[in-house]
Amino acid sequence: MRIVAIANQKGGVGKTTTAVNLGVALAEKKLRVLLIDLDPQANATSALGMQEVEGESIYEPLLGGTSLANKILPTRVDNLFIIPADLDLAGAEVEIARMPDHLTRLARTLSTFRSDETFDLVLFDCPPSLGILMTNALAAADEILTPIQCEYFALEGLVKIVRVVEQVRDSGANDQIEIGGIVMTMFDSRTNLSGQVVDEVRQHFGRRVYNTVIPRTVRLSEAPSFGKSILEYDPSGAGASAYRALAREFIRRHAPAAIARETEKTHLLESLDK
């Protein structure tokens, strides 16, 4: 099982859009995916057409009140499961901060899942702040996947997130974490700026930048209000094909590593061709 934190302290860069649509696209490729909505705004929860329900979030497991397994819900999509977010999560920031092992609560909560094969992949949709929830996500994750918008200050934001990852490593909370990838989002082919930003980010971060670039499309911004992923809302459009390509690239970058169960590896590699 691989744990991937979709994180960027900057708001509105496409974290939730990527968590939801990459999650659905990977589930379509038969990976068993658990999406954990770590943002009290609950955008990933509603984008998948689920109601926010008080008490249904990772809040209780984080505080040690119940097991994580009790909070996992199926979604409409086969192979995709979710732990939704609720408003209680906003309070978790304060309550967890008081606890002695406050940086590693999420890592501990997930540790039982590491050893079994229930899921191939856990995705965290992180909130846009450097609070306790995001720090816990980084302490629990094998890698961070950072969406950044193709806009002027992209590089500055990335430098900050690199520093945060280094701090998590140096603090001893998680010395394994790595920057697994950078995904450029909201690419606008009508402007020169988008292309320049992609070139600049590639110059600095090289192969860590995914080849797949997510275009800016109206359909991608409409889909959440219908509670649908782009793969359901506009399956043959540019947004859906970009997220399917991102899923293929994600699998290619990881296979045949930890995410694939032995028996599924051949199958996974075959599915790349479709």
Ligand X SMILES: Nc1ncnc2c1ncn2[C@@H]1O[C@H](COP(=O)(O)OP(=O)(O)OP(=O)(O)O)[C@@H](O)[C@H]1O
Q: Interface with Mg ion by CB under 5 A: which residues?
A: 15-16, 43
Q: Restricting to residues 232-251, name those near ligand X by CB under 6 A.
A: none
Cβ distance to ligand X smaller for residue 3 or 230: 230
Strand partners for 37: 125
Report what 21 binds from Mg ion, ligand X, none; CB cut-off 5-8 Å by kind: none
- CA nearest neighbour of 169 among 160, 158, 178, 156: 178
Instruction: Name the one residue in this structure whose structure tokens are 């110059």.
Output: 203
Residues numbered 60 to 79 that lie near ligand X (CB under 6 A) are none
Per DSSP, the three-state class of 260 is coil
- Beta carbons within 8 Å of 84's beta carbon, 6+ residues apart: 37, 42, 44, 45, 50, 52, 53, 56, 57, 73
Binding mask 1-30 for ligand X (x = CB under 6 A): ----------xxxxxxx-------------
Laid out side by side, the sheet with 143-149 consists of: 73-74, 80-83, 33-37, 121-125, 2-6, 143-149, 178-185
The CB-of-105 to Mg ion minimum distance in angstroms stands at: 21
Nearer to ligand X, 60 or 222 (CB): 222
Which of Mg ion, ligand X, none does residue 14 bind to, with CB < 5 to 8 Å depending on kind? ligand X
x/- letters, 154..193, toward ligand X (CB under 6 A): -------------------------------xx-------
Partner whose footprint covers residue 221, from Mg ion, ligand X, none (CB < 5 to 8 Å by kind):
ligand X
Select the binding partner of residue 136 from Mg ion, ligand X, none (C-beta < 5 to 8 A, by kind).
none
Q: Which of residues 144, 214, 231, 247 is near ligand X by CB under 6 A? A: 214
Question: In whole angstroms, how close is the CB of 63 to ligand X at the nearest point?
Answer: 23
State which residue, 32 or 233, has the beta carbon closest to ligand X.
233
Total number of residues shown for the chain = 274
- Listing DSSP states for 55-87 in one string gives T-SSHHHHHTSS-GGGG-EE-SSTTEEEE---T
Q: What is the dihedral of CA 110, 116, 243, 183, to 10 degrees?
A: 50
Q: Tokens standing for 231? A: 């793969």
Q: What residues are paired with 147 via a beta bridge?
A: 183
Residue 17 interacts with, from Mg ion, ligand X, none (CB under 5-8 Å by kind): ligand X
Find the binder of ligand X among 49, 99, 113, 128 (CB under 6 A): 128
Query: Per rule CB under 6 A, is residue 194 in the interface with ligand X?
Result: no
CB contact set of 246 (below 8 Å; sequence gap of 6+): 18, 21, 22, 25, 183, 210, 212, 214
Residues that bind ligand X (CB under 6 A): 11-17, 39, 43, 128, 185-186, 214, 216-217, 220-221, 224
